[in-house]
Every structure is written in C-alpha cells, then in structure tokens.
C-alpha cells in the first residue's frame, strides 16, 4: 500500500510539473514573460504553492520551459556552420532563428535576459552567440557579409523581429519571414554602401567590435 501511494504521489508530481511547463510555454509564447506566475498556475490547474515549490522564480520556470527552443537554436547555428557556403549558412541562421523566435514571443526575452542561477541556459546562449560570431567571420571572408557587422546586430534584428504584430500566429511567422529577408539584404556587402552608425551593446558579455 505504501509503495502504491508513493508511486501515485511521484506520478502526480510529474504530471503537475509537465502541466506547469506546458502552460508556461503556451502563455510565454503568446504573451511574453510578463505574465504573472499565478496566471500560469491557474492555467496549469495547480495551486500557486505547487508552482512555486517546483519553480521558485519565473526565471527558473522560463529557463526550463524554453530548453527545447535553446537546443533548437544550437542546431540551427550548427547547421549554418556546416554549410560549405558561409554566407548561405549565415542567411539561413538569420531566417530560421527569426522564425523560431516569432513562434515563441517569450523566447526572445528569455534569450537576451541574464537569469541569476540559470547557468545552463546562459552557457548555451553564450556558445550559440560564439558560433554565430564564427559563422559571421567566415561569411565576411567571402566578401558577402558587410564588414561592419557586429554580433549585437543579430540581437537588434531579434529585438525588432520580436516586435512584429499580426492577427494570428501564422501571420506573425509570415511577417517574420519577410522581415528576415529584408534584414539579410541589409547585411549583404555592397560596393559603395554607407557605413553603419556606431553599434550599441545588446549581446550580454559580447564584444562590440566587428568580427574579422
């Protein structure tokens, strides 16, 4: 009897955790990270105490909720690095990451935030940004990526992409694809192109100087 009760309690705890994460993904994707924790608990069908016992802070909840998206980012950038044409790989990274962020409104905020204690997320984000910087260096070497591109420009593109508004999720993704295409054209090296204004620091802990 004790074993059966213990198994049921563990099963209920796992069910609660999955319901919380699913509710958080849905709410964050639609409305961003500003949604109150009590609202997430309500949508998950659990009490606030249960939510806070599993996830004491919203930062920890967002980190766990967006773990799959973070891994998807890593795969996208790895695919770009594997492309024998660095410029094509770079363009595909911009397009695919914009679409990924467009599907989950909260992910952009989570990606750019510094979450105290979320070491795994910060490390993964750092590796992803380092990989994009390497891909940009290769694309510049081909002469196709404008030489004054800096990593913070990618963050600027993601911030602008996150501001897109549409009546439906499908419309938002379509707008994101259009925006990504425009961004790629702006980043393409062109003879006689005017230099960009000085960059602003947007990528946490990353240099502003153009990758060479």
Q: Are 104 and 30 in contact (CB under 8 A)?
A: no
Asked whether the predicted pLDDT for residue 110 surpasses 80, the reply is no
* pTM of the full structure: 0.78
* Residue-number span of the structural domain to which 146 is assigned: 67-187
For the chain, the domain total comes to 2
Residue-wise pLDDT for 48-99, tens only, equals: 999 999 999 888 898 888 888 888 999 999 999 999 999 999 999 999 999 9
Note whether residue 193 is domain-resident.
no
Q: Tell me the CA distances in angstroms from 138 to 59, 169, 206, one per residue in order.
A: 34, 34, 18
pLDDT tens-digit series, residues 157-210: 988 998 888 888 899 999 999 999 999 999 999 988 888 898 877 765 555 555
Measured in whole angstroms, the distance separating CA 24 from the mean position of its chain's CA atoms is 15
Same domain, 87 and 170: yes
List Cβ<8 Å contacts ≥24 apart for 113-122: 113/33, 113/59, 113/62, 114/204, 115/59, 115/60, 115/62, 115/63, 116/59, 117/57, 117/59, 117/60, 118/59, 118/60, 118/63, 120/63, 121/63, 121/66, 121/67, 121/70
Same domain, 170 and 95: yes
**74 and 53 assigned to the same domain:** no
Domain annotation covers residue 177 = yes
């Amino acid at each position: 009897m004790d074993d059966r009760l213990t198994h049921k309690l563990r099963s209920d705890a796992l069910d609660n955790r999955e319901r919380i994460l699913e509710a958080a993904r849905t709410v964050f994707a639609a409305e961003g990270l500003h949604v109150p924790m009590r609202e997430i608990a309500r949508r998950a069908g659990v009490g606030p105490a249960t939510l806070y016992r599993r996830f004491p802070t919203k930062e920890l909840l967002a980190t766990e909720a967006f773990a799959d998206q973070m891994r998807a980012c890593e795969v996208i950038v790895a695919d770009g690095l594997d492309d024998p044409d660095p410029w094509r790989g770079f363009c595909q990274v911009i397009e695919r990451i914009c679409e990924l962020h467009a599907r989950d409104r909260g992910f952009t905020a989570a990606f750019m935030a510094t979450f105290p204690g979320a070491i795994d997320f910060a490390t993964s984000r750092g590796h992803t940004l380092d990989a994009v910087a390497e891909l940009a260096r290769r694309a510049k070497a081909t002469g196709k990526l404008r030489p004054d591109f800096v990593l913070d420009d990618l963050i600027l593109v993601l911030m602008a992409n996150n501001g897109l508004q549409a009546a439906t999720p499908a419309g938002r993704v379509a707008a994101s694809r259009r925006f990504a295409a425009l961004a790629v054209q702006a980043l393409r090296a062109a003879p006689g192109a005017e230099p960009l204004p000085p960059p602003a620091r947007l990528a946490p802990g990353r240099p502003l100087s153009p990758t060479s």
